Amino acid sequence: MRRTSSFAVFRFDPGEQDLAKPRWLAREGKAAEAEDEYRHAIGRNPDLFTGWLELFELLRRGGRHQDGLDLADAAERHWGPDAAMPHALRGAALVEMGRLGDGIAALQKAIGADDAFALAWHEYGYASYRAGHHSEALLALDRAFALEPHTDTLMLRGHILREGGRYDAAEVAFQGALQSTEHDVPRRDAEREIAATRRAAALGGKRPRDFTAREHWFARSGGVLLTAGDPTAPPADAAALAVGGAIALARGLGWRPAAVAGATEGDKELAETVAALLGVHVLGAASLDPADRPLVVTVVNDGREGWGKQLDRLARWRSGFAFALYEPEGAADPSDITGVGTEPPEHERRWVLDALRRTLPTAAEADPEAVALARQPLAAWRTRAAVPAPL
């Protein structure tokens, strides 16, 4: 989640034309090229205030916090020791490095230098949140938003409120972020967080800190996690149990796909295994039809384009289901059922497929918690399933 952003609610500055190219490169995911262009723009015009902020955020998103700290030092050399912005950048970098006390002190210094600097208040709110001071964080974010409305300030406010179990207030904050921007990125982020907040609220009124691992997974993605993964278990054993559990859960939910397909060519063997257990046909992904109520499977949901493309098709059709044998937490296109909530090393993937081919998994009894979560009205698969699950 970005803490500092270019997505101000009201913003137009013709003096920032030099930032058009690095912004475009950053949006395209070309971080190295974007960094070069930001540094060139700042080199040509060191007074380009927003350029310093956006370059810092680019470094932050890449986890390059020491480089962010170095940038803060460079900003201080240019803007002077009495300027608020370098202290704000330094504080943000130190907080990301886990040096909360030093970071908060730097941010307080930034606020002391300019108490109308919205970014300093925003970062102070985030630092207070990281330190566990939620009430102080919310007050700081209110001040930041009053000074300069940003979608990210509303988003952070929503996260803090949700963590405290204040789901209605959190949804209001996320709705505000959604309604206050025309940019696609923050709009999608806000929509995702609104859905996550509603799912969290549906779990009996508990705070997120009291959720089980499966409940956290469900709230985040709307999917069902069968196992978080035992690092000591042989990969093939974990995969066999996950496939068997997925089949048991699908049967318990009344899923009746007429065909199974791998999302990519590399998923063909898994598709054949799952199809054999369900007693249905295997089809190529290109041959699927909405009437098939297809079950699309993948060995690892690791952001490959083929998987996202197939999930988009299921969403358009409002038909079908998705199963990922392995899926890391925070995957961009989460599955309806995830076997193991990790991403295995590349060299283990072939072992897993070979083991599944040699020994067909058996469908064990579905886990009661997994069934209960899958039957939640807000489960992701229900948004497109033609036939509701039995209650």
Which tokens hold the place of 148?
């300069």
Residue 391, domain member (yes or no): no
Contact 173/149 with Cβ under 8 angstroms?
no
134 shares a domain with 9: yes
Q: What is the mean pLDDT of the chain?
A: 88
196 shares a domain with 119: no
Determine the average pLDDT of the residues in 244-270.
91
Residue 37, φ and ψ in degrees, nearest 5? -70, -35
**In whole angstroms, what is the distance from residue 245 CA to residue 95 CA?**
41
Residue 246 has pLDDT above 60, yes or no: yes
- Domain with 60 in it: 1-147
pLDDT of 182 reads 78
Last-in-domain residue among 188, 211, 234: 211
Residue 225, domain member (yes or no): yes
Give CA separation, 198 vs 63, 153, 209, 213, 372, in Å: 30, 20, 16, 17, 16
Last-in-domain residue among 147, 166, 200: 147
User: What letter does residue 183 receive in the DSSP assignment?
Assistant: -
378 shares a domain with 229: yes
User: What letter does residue 131 receive in the DSSP assignment?
Assistant: T
57 shares a domain with 188: no
Which tokens hold the place of 355?
């083991």
SS3 282: strand
157 shares a domain with 134: no
- Residue pLDDT, tens place only, 213-232: 999 999 999 999 998 655 55
379 shares a domain with 236: yes
Reported confidence tier of residue 3, pLDDT bands at 50, 70, 90: very low
- The percentage of the chain sitting over the pLDDT mark of 90, rounded to a whole number, equals 68
Residue 391 has pLDDT above 60, yes or no: no
Structural domains in the chain (count): 3
**Does residue 378 or residue 388 have the better pLDDT?**
378
Residue 4, domain member (yes or no): yes
Determine the average pLDDT of the residues in 270-275.
91
Q: What is the pTM of this model?
A: 0.84
Contact 22/38 with Cβ under 8 angstroms?
yes
pLDDT of 232 reads 54
With a CB cutoff of 8 Å and minimum separation 6, the contacts of 161 are 138, 167, 169, 170, 173
312 shares a domain with 323: yes
Residue 53, domain member (yes or no): yes
235 shares a domain with 372: yes
Residue 5 has pLDDT above 60, yes or no: no
**Does residue 4 or residue 111 have the better pLDDT?**
111
Residue 78, domain member (yes or no): yes
Residue 28, domain member (yes or no): yes
pLDDT of 4 reads 40
Start-to-end Cα distance in the chain: 36
Residue 390, domain member (yes or no): no
Residue 102 has pLDDT above 70, yes or no: yes
Determine the average pLDDT of the residues in 287-307.
90
CATH of the domain at 268: 3.40.50
Residue 388, domain member (yes or no): no
235 shares a domain with 379: yes
pLDDT of 34 reads 95
Amino acid code (one letter) for 299: V
CATH of the domain at 119: 1.25.40.10
**Does residue 231 or residue 180 have the better pLDDT?**
180
243 shares a domain with 379: yes
167 shares a domain with 73: no
Of 15-19, 85-89, 213-217, 357-361, least confident by mean pLDDT is 357-361
SS3 285: helix
205 shares a domain with 278: no
Contact 1/156 with Cβ under 8 angstroms?
yes
Amino acid code (one letter) for 47: D
pLDDT of 63 reads 95
Last-in-domain residue among 147, 176, 195: 147
Angle (nearest 5°) at CA 157 between 330 and 136: 125
pLDDT of 303 reads 79
Residue 179 has pLDDT above 50, yes or no: yes
- Residue pLDDT, tens place only, 115-134: 999 999 999 999 999 999 99
pLDDT of 142 reads 96
Determine the average pLDDT of the residues in 1-14.
44
Give CA separation, 343 vs 1, 220, 300, 346, in Å: 21, 17, 7, 9
**In whole angstroms, what is the distance from residue 338 CA to residue 323 CA?**
6
Determine the average pLDDT of the residues in 144-151.
92
